[in-house]
Amino acid sequence: MGAYLDQFSEAGAEARRAMVREMVRRGALKDPAWRAAFEEVPRHLFVPYYFVTGTGGPQRLWCEDPDPARRARWLYGAYEDEALATRIRDGELVSSSSQPSLMARMLEELEIADGMTVLEIGAGTGYNAALLAHRLGDAAVTTIDLDPEITESARRHLAAAGHHPAVITGDGARGCPERGPYDRIIATCTLPSVPQAWLAQCRPGARILAPFATGLIMLGVRETPHGRCAEGRFLYTPAYFVPLRGAVPPPVRHPRTAGVPRRVADDELFLFMLTLTGSTLDPREALSLWQREGRPERARFGVTVREGRQWAWLDDPEGPYAWPLPADLSD
């Protein structure tokens, strides 16, 4: 497969440059190091096939399609600024390649510097690990996934692109202590709670960035007299990822909106708040808070992990609006 994909190198490079120009036009890739990574890492090597919506269900586009027009559609689709469905099992999406501009936003928010080590939760296609390895070097990057088929294909894709970070098959909720400690942890799957195991594998001052509810939470890790804790706010950016599989229970996917006016029930920020607060607030209580606080943005919400507990909050971690998060089952 790798040798077959080589024939697309020139056309892929042209499409890749076009993708990067469009991302820059939209305000992404302000950091020259990340721009270079996106310019030089060939995304098409990581998605030799993917699925698109078609009449009658998902249709596969792949690099070896005998139809030249469909091969071209596959190649140029690999460089659209879109998420690509790469694994569907029993009709359910289990793995994807994230939207490049969202990946760029997450990587830039991590504020990575030379010499840092990174743990990625959710190997996916290997593309994100390749971008990290381009920036930091192979030895600094560890990526983990529960599914051995996913890690094996990610390993092959990475090797085809000339990168060899550590690709581990295991439960991402438990991290990878033998490769730690880490300066940064980035998850590419949605969490219902923050695994305590991650905090133990971080250096003080580390950052954890993860999809949570339908947003992105950025946590700073620090030492306290009572042990290690993590705390931070959500970014403004919405984010929709497949759930983390393993020790942590799956998140609520369809929050109840009974009794809520349609215009509010369809508002993504209201749904974010309702998903984040879980079963603590019923829809009417959530509606009352929503109206009282004037449609609060994601960045007003945060998460605290401390002394074996974790909770979500609005404006102040010690304020009146706080909601317990599901128990961490990674221990």
Q: Cis omega (within 30 of 0) on the bond before 211?
A: no
For 2-170, the fitting CATH number among 3.30.43.10, 3.40.50.150, 2.40.50.140, 3.90.1150.10 is: 3.40.50.150
Comparison of pLDDT for 69 and 1, the residue scoring more: 69
Lowest mean pLDDT among 48-57, 67-76, 101-110, 146-155: 48-57
Strand partners, 51: 60, 85
pLDDT classification of 317: cutoffs 50, 70, 90: very high
Overall average pLDDT of the 184-208 stretch: 94
In percent, the amount of the chain with pLDDT more than 70 equals: 93
Lowest mean pLDDT among 166-175, 205-214, 273-282, 288-297: 273-282
HSE-CB for 197 with a 13 A CA cutoff: 18
Residue 101 is a catalytic residue: no
Q: What residue spans define the domains of the chain?
A: 2-170, 251-324
- Considering 95, 96, 97, 330, which one is annotated as catalytic? 95
Long-range contacts of 309-314 (CB under 8 A, 24+ apart): 310/193, 310/194, 312/276, 312/277, 314/289
Residue 14's H or E segment, with its range, is: helix 9-25
Q: Which long-range contacts link 22-25 to residues 24+ away (Cβ below 8 Å)? A: 22/81, 23/81, 23/100, 23/101, 23/104
Q: What is the spatial distance between Cα 12 and Cα 330, in angstroms, rounded to a whole number?
A: 41
User: Counting beta carbons within 10 angstroms of the beta carbon of residue 38, is it exposed (0 to 12), middle (13 to 18) or buried (19 or more)?
Assistant: buried
Token pair for residue 111? 């504020």
Which pLDDT tens digit goes with each residue over 230-289? 999 999 999 888 887 654 444 444 567 777 888 998 899 998 998 888 768 888 888 899
User: Does pTM top 0.75 for this prediction?
Assistant: yes
pLDDT by residue (tens digit) across 26-74?
899 999 999 999 999 999 999 999 999 877 778 899 999 999 999 999 9
The mean per-residue pLDDT over the stretch 91-98 comes to: 84
Compute the half-sphere exposure of residue 305: CA atoms within 13 Å on the CB side of its CA: 25
How far apart, in Å, are the Cα atoms of 295 and each of 5, 12, 151, 163?
A: 48, 43, 41, 45
Rounded Cα distance between 290 and 260, Å, is: 11
The dihedral over CA atoms of 208, 152, 41, 113, expressed in degrees to the nearest 10, equals 30
Instruction: Give the pLDDT score at 5.
Output: 59
